[in-house]
Amino acid sequence: MSREDQLRIAVFGAHPADCVWNSAGTIAVHARNKDRVLVVPVTYGARHCNPFLAPTKEEGYRPLEEVKTRKLDEIRKACKILGADLLQLDFKDQIFVGNNEEIQKITDIIRDFRPDIVITHHPVDTAFSDQPDHATTGTAVMRAVKYANEWGADSTKPGWHVNTVLLWPARHNTAMYRVTPYITPANYYVEITEVIDQKRQALRCLEGSMLATEEAADAIINAMSITVGGAAGVPHAEEYVYTAPFVVKRLSRRESGPHRNMLLPQGWTLEEYERLFPLDR
Ligand SMILES: [Zn+2]
């Protein structure tokens, strides 16, 4: 069933946890609004930072397939909590490079799902430091977004133009992540205060990404509340880089575009606000 105003949002993460960590709240907000959200982790994140993979004295190394089964189970549970559909891909984390075949696969997903909005990593995210999968995913998805609407694309599916791409900012310039040469400031925030418990519950599904304990999940929520919520001026938010520049014929009190959905000052209704500050002034 689809409504005229129903949005379709595709979230492409390098690893399952990226989709939850960065966008669980945004996903939950839109699922509540009966929009369709498709979560697409392009790898299982089975090799990177994974306690399941550590060898035990009794059994030695765990088989990768067993790790993947557990991680699939986790992200399934998280998506259920958030109200999203899941499409788990099987590119090889730490190894995949965003080759033709991988870009074609993502292109076909975009052509099939026909998202209005695509969310993914910034192509420069930690590109030269801790986690190259993020940058590889961001680049591959950006190329697939373009490719999905090209005549020459090697696909029998009809083309699709993605209206909006939102990127997770590259902000890991901390000692923990060593050095990334590019920091991309966020310029677009989604308030997620009302769904923060859903985000907490979803994070707690992710044992294989070491986010499942109460302390780990709360530490993320609290840190993001201070940094991201603080920047947005609300208790809890998620942050993005909006990729299209604004073009206006003349300056106005309030630009059209994403600011149309800005948080209103306390006690205001949108109607009251628009009466005083009409969009087209
Ligand atoms: Zn990741």
Domain co-membership, 240 together with 251 = no
The rounded Å distance from CA 111 to ligand 1 centre is 25
Is the confidence at residue 187, as pLDDT, over 80? yes
- Statement to judge: residues 95 and 59 lie in one domain: yes
Same domain, 96 and 231: yes
Q: Find the 263 Cα to ligand 1 centroid distance in Å.
A: 30
Task: Note whether 207 and 74 are same-domain residues.
Answer: yes
Query: Any idea which of 70-84, 209-223, 225-239 has the lowest mean pLDDT?
Result: 209-223
Q: Does residue 217 sit in the same domain as residue 86? A: yes
- In terms of domains, do 160 and 177 share one? yes
Asked if residue 1 is part of any domain, the answer here is no
What's the 232 CA to ligand 1 centre distance in angstroms? 24
Is 19 inside any structural domain? yes
The answer to whether 81 touches 201, Cβ cutoff 8 Å, is yes
Are residues 251 and 159 part of one domain?
Answer: no
What's the average model confidence in pLDDT over 80-84?
98
53, with CB counted inside 10 A (0-12, 13-18, 19+), is middle
Q: Beta strand 36-41 with 8-13: parallel, antiparallel or unpaired? A: parallel
**What is the pTM assigned to this prediction?**
0.85
Q: What pLDDT band is residue 129 in, cutting at 50, 70 and 90?
A: low
152 within a domain of the structure (yes/no): yes
Structural domain containing residue 265: 247-281
- Please tell me the distance between residue 28's alpha carbon and the centre of ligand 1 in angstroms: 20
- Provide the domain count of the chain: 2
Give the residue among 110, 125, 277 at the shortest CA–CA distance from 186: 125
Is 201's pLDDT higher than 90? Answer: yes
Instruction: Supply the CATH number for residue 167's domain.
Output: 3.40.50.10320
Is 231 part of a structural domain of the chain? Answer: yes
CA–centroid distance, residue 177 to ligand 1 (Å): 12
pLDDT bracket for residue 80 (50, 70, 90): very high
Here the tokens at position 193 are 């205060």
Q: Is 127 found in the same domain as 265?
A: no
Same domain, 213 and 160: yes
Ligand 1 centre from 4 Cα, in Å?
34
* pLDDT above 90 coverage of the chain, percent: 54
203 vs 259, which has greater pLDDT?
A: 203
- Centre of ligand 1 from the C-alpha of residue 3, in Å: 33
- Tell me, what's the pLDDT at 185? 86
Neighbours of 122 (CB within 10 A): 26
pLDDT at 161 (0 to 100): 93
Q: Are residues 221 and 260 in the same domain?
A: no
Do the domain assignments include residue 2? no
